[in-house]
Amino acid sequence: MSATLPSVRVSAPHRSYRTPVASRRPFAAAAIGLVAVEVALVLWAAPLERFLTGSAVAWLQGMGTPVARGDDGFLGWSLATISYAMPTHHFVELLIWIGAGLGGIALLALGRILSTPVRYFVILNLAVISSEAIYLLFQGHLAYSPTQFSVLMMRTMLVTWFVIPAFAATIVVLFPFRVWHVVAAILFCTSYDIALGSARYAAFVAILSHTGPILMADLYLIYGPLLDVIPMIGIFAFFLTRLSRRLEKRPGAWQWL
């Protein structure tokens, strides 16, 4: 009499132990695309920056903002800057900024007026502005003059042009994109960052020339280079949506998830 063996169900390894099968094509496309973009930026970043800054100066002058075009040398490039002047702050005005900032922080921290992420973001802005007002109250001036801050913004913008393509290429090779998706993502991220950096440079000058140095640190720390990375989430969400639709009929491609 033979014994019947119980059936054994073999389960797949837990997803933490699975490894995605990486294709070499996205790596090669990302490497070639990144090198091509970086070489193009080395050749044309300086004339592009001069053109965009000159356009920003013309736009600001047309809006009635007293600005002028300046010159700066950086990493062997001849670049353009925006020269502007900022109004000063009376100590009474600084006391109002400090009181309003600290009062707003207390109100938002104790109440539930806004959703938690928005509330924390507003508190961060108020904390930076209040700290800067306190510094101005005791020191009388900031460490950066308008010319120095303009040069800082311009150089930060230029360096970010080179960093964003490398960041985009590093992320895009983690997913099984098609070759043209890889190249398009790198080019799109680079293009949007060039447009964003130029528009932000002009906007910062327009704001500071009317408000004074009270918002200088807040603009640079909160809305400066940190803002360049945030829109990339939306860009890659667009490409990942197209990728998921393409692979939805290939279950094997998702076994590692």
Half-sphere exposure of 71 (CA within 13 A, CB side): 4
- Tens-digit pLDDT profile for the chain (257 aa)? 555 555 555 455 544 444 445 556 667 777 888 888 889 988 888 898 899 988 888 888 888 888 888 888 887 888 888 888 888 878 888 888 888 888 888 888 887 777 778 888 888 899 988 888 888 888 766 667 788 888 888 888 888 989 888 888 887 777 766 777 778 888 888 888 888 888 898 898 888 888 888 888 888 888 888 777 777 777 677 766 666 666 666 555 555 44
User: Domain residue spans in the chain?
Assistant: 24-85+145-242
Q: What element of type H or E holds 77?
A: strand 77-84
Angle at 184 (CA atoms; ends 257, 52), nearest 5 degrees: 130
pLDDT value of residue 79 = 87
pTM: 0.75
Can you say whether the dihedral through the CA atoms of 75, 77, 80, 83 is positive or negative? positive
